[in-house]
Amino acid sequence: MSNTPSVWQDISRKGLWQQNPGLVQLLGLCPVLAISNNVVNALALGLATTLVTALSSATVSSVRHWVPHDIRNPVFIMIIASLVTCVDLAMNAWLHELYLVLGIFIPLITTNCIVMARAEAFASRQPVREAAWDGTMMGLGLTGVLVALGALRELLGKGTLLAGADKLLGPAGQQLTLQLAGPDYQFLLMLLPPGAFLGLALLIAGKNVLDARARQRAAAAANLAPHAEASPAP
């Protein structure tokens, strides 16, 4: 096993953690804040966005040599919009209840900055496979944030987890719902928009703490290692 990470590992690490679209790039905040009031909605929108980002990155990458530089943005948006339309129609057909809940936020994936940003910053200058992988990982990174935020808000706001899972998984999903507090429990602030901002801020702060600790550990290790090796040297 070599020490240098492969390009695939590098792309995954950036998408899922180092350049996480929700926590670091802070792109696509509108759906993140609006749809994260429960886990099921968050997961569904996250996966839909992942699908679009992966497919659009692959498509943009495959046509990158033929797209004139000056009109690349309209071309990218057309590609993204067509893919979103497909996802929109598919969800309307097969996940109709969920489609009704997510409403305008499915078509709005077109304007989600993270899709456009990956097309522009990565897919338009990288080979197809890498671009598809990058789109997938960025989408999954966003999905992770959405689900964490959705879980936090649903748990604190309503005392449940995975409420309405049947909308995503069919009737079997109903058993997945966890009722962790009394049926009367409600903490409205977490379900309302302020809860989304507070929750996202907590997640970002949490990531920063973890990163700071990792840096400290790395610095400590870097300080110790040369001493151990270089003790005979001046």
Under DSSP, is residue 178 helix (H, G, I), strand (E, B) or coil? Answer: strand
Q: Smallest gap, in angstroms, from Cβ of residue 100 to another protein?
A: 27
Q: CA-to-CA distance for 141 and 12, rounded, in angstroms?
A: 9
Task: Give the x-and-dash track for 114-153 against another protein (CB under 8 A).
Answer: ----------------------------------------
Q: CA-to-CA distance for 72 and 19, rounded, in angstroms?
A: 24
Neighbours of 179 (CB within 10 A): 12
Rule CB under 8 A: which of 150-209 touch another protein? Answer: 186-190, 192, 194, 198
Q: Smallest gap, in angstroms, from Cβ of residue 209 to another protein?
A: 10
Name which of 17 and 187 has its Cβ closer to another protein: 187
Q: Smallest gap, in angstroms, from Cβ of residue 220 to another protein?
A: 18
Cα separations in angstroms, 138 against 51, 111, 198, 227? 10, 16, 23, 39
Q: Smallest gap, in angstroms, from Cβ of residue 189 to another protein?
A: 4
Neighbours of 46 (CB within 10 A): 25
By CB under 8 A, how many residues form the interface with another protein?
8
Residue type, 131: A
Return residues touching another protein (CB under 8 A). Answer: 186-190, 192, 194, 198
